[in-house]
Amino acid sequence: MINKKELSETSISSINLGIEKPDAYFLSDDDSVRLYAINIGLNVIGTTRIIADAAVKGDIKSLEEMTELLYELKTKSNYPITADMINDIVKVVENRIKIRDENYKKEKNIDFIKKVRSAFKKIEKSNTPKDPFSLFGIEHGYGWYGLTMPIIEEIRIFNNTNPDNQIYIEQIKEKFGSLRIYVTGAPDYLDAMIKKAGFESKHICEICGARGKNEEIDGWYSTLCEEHKKA
């Protein structure tokens, strides 16, 4: 049941209802509440919800851009949008983005835990110790595969032609926002390739492979393009 307090004009709770549950305005038996819902205009709620959802999904690049769109909607339309309402919408979206980012971190933690559990299962089923590469595989985003795969291919070719002098991959991962490839038995030219790939990774987005920048984000060093840094 929706009451007047929950649907007070330009309140954050009202905007939340409009964005999350547009049909909630019709869940009240109070005629004055229903009348206010009609007066505020379902078009307002529908349009602002689309804009807010776009901001949370990253289709709108920043809260500033979203705010500009809302003010443009206010200026160019007959919708009863007020400056206070726009401020409340911004607060709501800020909170939704915060929740989205927290959920993303939780999902990453869950994925990591699953990976660790899988690695332990491999250890328990084996009589020989496993190195990180055989346990976890390639531990970085797809954006760096263009750096990693040529090195793996070079190792494969070397091992095929040098059966008595094999190169072993111990680990391939991201550390401090750059690519790290640890191997044993590599000749000097391959060590140079690995160092070069590590240097180049500091300028390549780990997620998509576009031009990126290595910097600290929320306590973690990452190399990301502008688009994925904002996301």
Percent of all residues in the chain with a pLDDT value above 70, rounded to a whole number = 69
Q: Are strands 178-184 and 168-175 parallel, antiparallel or unpaired?
A: antiparallel
Domain residues of the chain, as ranges?
A: 1-128, 131-230
Crossing angle between the packed helical segments 83-125 and 42-57, to the nearest 10 degrees: 40
Q: Are 173 and 141 in contact (CB under 8 A)?
A: no
Per-residue pLDDT at 15: 53
Distances (CA, A) of 120 to 123, 131, 135, 136: 5, 12, 9, 10
Per-residue pLDDT at 7: 45
Distances (CA, A) of 159 to 66, 119, 165, 187, 225: 55, 26, 7, 12, 36
Q: Are 2 and 33 in contact (CB under 8 A)?
A: yes
**pLDDT, tens digit (0-9, with 9 covering 90-100), for 103-158:** 777 777 777 677 777 766 776 676 665 677 777 788 898 899 999 999 999 999 99
Percent of all residues in the chain with a pLDDT value above 90, rounded to a whole number = 30
- Residues facing 183 on adjacent strands: 169
- Mean pLDDT value across residues 54-63: 73
Per-residue pLDDT at 104: 73
- Mean pLDDT value across residues 161-166: 91
**What's the number of CA atoms in the CB half-sphere (13 Å) around residue 129?**
3
Query: Is residue 134 within a helix (H) or strand (E), and if so which, with residue range?
Result: helix 132-136
- Mean pLDDT value across residues 181-193: 93
Per-residue pLDDT at 1: 42
Query: Is residue 217 within a helix (H) or strand (E), and if so which, with residue range?
Result: strand 213-217
